[in-house]
């Protein structure tokens, strides 16, 4: 097991060249946000936008449109029932699916569309409800994607892997990931007080940062957005995912110095300044 260090941020986060435009920093689509869980997709979108994604679109329930645009006018909107969703998926570099998605029949239909429309050129980040839906029906797993990143918390991983939380050892998790996605194009970000990252090839990394103030609803949704934002800009490597996980907790630790509770929305706000700092050190 390898502990992630601050050096990963200096390695991954680079200065932006003057001769660039928004398309150079990745196109992301986030899918989620049912009637009752619109906050989840908004927080995830905030993570993606504030971590530097070039173009960000959100497919969600239309009830979330006003709140989304009030909080994040940078993000484009599409009704997740729109027939154009399939083509939009095909044109994205990264798709994040699951925050607030829910377990409805429509959510299952969206997962079918995602599976049908993704290609080897894309990275798909699966979180929350998307993982629970796959737990019920493994055929929903979008194995056509070039890279898959699973971001469950321990209970979601228990449902998906059938490994009870007390028995989620590194070796058991590696075996379960390889059985679920045999061709090793997947990474597992297993969220806990010290998140473990599995690269699909047997390597295990542990995040030493994080604090109890981050035990707040929406923290995992925000992390999924940050992972997507980093992958869009810096590529779908293990280092990129490690950097996203590390900076998420680093931001949380900085906020926790003066705050008993760390809100996910505050984590997102800190990202641009932190990324600027480390881009100067790269």
Tell me what pLDDT residue 84 has: 98
Question: Residue ranges of the domains in the chain?
Answer: 2-279
Tell me what pLDDT residue 282 has: 80
pLDDT in tens, 114-132: 999 999 999 999 999 999 9
Q: What percent of the chain has pLDDT over 90?
A: 97
Tell me what pLDDT residue 172 has: 97
Tell me what pLDDT residue 71 has: 97
**This prediction's pTM:** 0.98
From the options 3.90.850.10, 3.40.30.10, 1.10.8.640, 3.40.1190.20, give the CATH code of 2-279.
Answer: 3.40.1190.20
What does the mean pLDDT of the chain come to? 97
Confidence class for position 201, pLDDT limits 50, 70, 90? confident
Tell me what pLDDT residue 181 has: 93
Tell me what pLDDT residue 188 has: 98
Q: Is the pLDDT of residue 219 over 80?
A: yes
Tell me what pLDDT residue 185 has: 86
The DSSP annotation for 58-117 comes to: EEE-GGGHHHHHHH-TTSEEEETT-TTHHHHHHT-SEEEE-TT--SSHHHHHHHHHHHHH
Q: What is the mean pLDDT of residues 139-160?
A: 97
CA-to-CA separations, 251 to 47, 101, 113, 126, 209, in angstroms, rounded: 12, 26, 35, 23, 10
Annotated binding site for (6S)-NADPHX: 40, 100, 153, 221
Tell me what pLDDT residue 200 has: 86
> In 97-131, which positions are buried (b, 16+ CB within 10 angstroms) versus exposed (e)?
bbbbbbeeeebbebbebbbebbeeebbbbbbbbbb
Tell me what pLDDT residue 143 has: 93
Identify the residue with better confidence: 200 or 256: 256
Annotated binding site for AMP: 191-195, 220
Q: Which two tokens stand for residue 78?
A: 């599409």
> Which range, of 35-44, 175-184, 233-242, averages the lowest pLDDT?
175-184
Cβ partners under 8 Å of residue 20, min gap 6: none
pLDDT in tens, 239-277: 999 999 999 999 999 999 999 999 999 999 999 999 999
Annotated binding site: 40, 100, 153, 191-195, 220-221
Among 86, 28, 32, 90, CA closest to 59: 32
- How far apart (Å, rounded) are the C-alpha atoms in residues 78 and 30? 10
- How far apart (Å, rounded) are the C-alpha atoms in residues 255 and 222? 15
């Amino acid at each position: 097991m390898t502990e992630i260090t601050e050096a990963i941020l200096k390695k991954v986060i680079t200065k932006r060249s003057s001769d660039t435009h928004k398309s150079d920093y990745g196109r992301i689509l986030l899918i989620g946000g049912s009637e009752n869980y619109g906050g989840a997709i908004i927080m995830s979108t905030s993570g993606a936008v504030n971590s530097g994604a070039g173009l960000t679109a959100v497919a969600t329930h239309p009830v979330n449109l006003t709140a989304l645009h009030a909080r994040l006018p940078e993000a484009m909107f599409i009704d997740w029932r729109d027939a154009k969703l399939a083509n939009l998926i095909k044109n994205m570099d990264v798709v994040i699916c699951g925050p607030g998605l829910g377990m409805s029949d429509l959510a299952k239909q969206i997962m079918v569309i995602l599976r049908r429309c993704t290609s080897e050129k894309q990275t798909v980040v699966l979180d929350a409800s998307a993982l629970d839906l796959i737990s019920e029906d493994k055929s929903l797993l979008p194995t056509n994607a070039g890279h898959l990143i699973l971001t469950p918390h321990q209970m979601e991983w228990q449902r998906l892997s059938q490994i009870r939380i007390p028995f989620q050892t590194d070796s058991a998790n590696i075996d379960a990931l390889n059985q679920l996605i045999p061709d090793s194009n997947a990474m597992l970000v297993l969220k806990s007080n010290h998140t473990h990252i599995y690269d699909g090839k047997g390597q295990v990394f542990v995040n030493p940062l994080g604090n109890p103030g981050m035990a707040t609803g929406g923290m995992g949704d925000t992390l999924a957005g940050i992972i997507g934002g980093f992958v869009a800009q810096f590529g779908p490597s293990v280092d990129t995912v490690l950097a996203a996980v590390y900076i998420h907790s680093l931001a949380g630790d900085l906020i926790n110095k003066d705050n008993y509770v760390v809100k996910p929305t505050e984590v997102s706000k800190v990202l641009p300044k932190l990324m600027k700092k480390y881009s100067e050190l790269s």
